[in-house]
Amino acid sequence: MREAGWGGRTQLERAVDALLSPGHVLFSLAIIALGIETLVCAGSLVGTLIQSDRFGTIIGPVLAACGVGLLFRRTMRTAAMALGGLLLLYTLIFEVPRYAAHLGSMVFRTRVFEPLAIAAVAWLLPGPDAIPSWVAGAGRYLLAAS
């Protein structure tokens, strides 16, 4: 049953939004921190999410900028699409070929599925109305597979 006021949103919808809001901010701050870590640690990135030393000085600021963009409603969609695309491409270009010969390895699963899961969450963060339906579907399946 819909209540009047607040744009026709139910009390449950408002409660879910209030519950998820801190998660949105924490995810954004974590992406900013990942970008700073990637930039500062370029050259010694072994054991971190982004191990590519060649592009650490480029990827780091882009990740931080995407994290800042995720904080604001106006730039959230663009930042989410860019972050998800960047992490997907990074994984497909750098991680999958490196571990393709070791499909049963736990290291393979972690190195490949961790950035893919973060990419999927980034794509789903703006909500289903803000992104193309195929991206939302791909994000859900990618998160489930990860």
pLDDT at 3 over 50: no
In a domain, 1, yes or no: no
In a domain, 122, yes or no: yes
Give the pLDDT band (50/70/90) at residue 130. confident
Report which of residues 11 and 123 the model is more confident about. Answer: 123
In a domain, 53, yes or no: yes
**What is the pLDDT, as a whole number, of residue 53?**
58
Total number of domains constituting the chain: 1
In a domain, 94, yes or no: yes
Task: Read off the pLDDT of residues 21-67 as tens digits, 9 standing for 90 and up.
Answer: 788 889 999 999 988 888 887 666 555 556 555 666 788 889 999 99
- The span from the CA of 19 to the CA of 5, in Å, is 20
Give the pLDDT band (50/70/90) at residue 1. very low
- The span from the CA of 81 to the CA of 135, in Å, is 9
In a domain, 2, yes or no: no
In a domain, 125, yes or no: yes
Task: Read off the pLDDT of residues 75-91 as tens digits, 9 standing for 90 and up.
Answer: 999 999 999 999 999 88
Task: State which residues form the domain around 106.
Answer: 8-145
In a domain, 51, yes or no: yes
- The span from the CA of 142 to the CA of 146, in Å, is 6
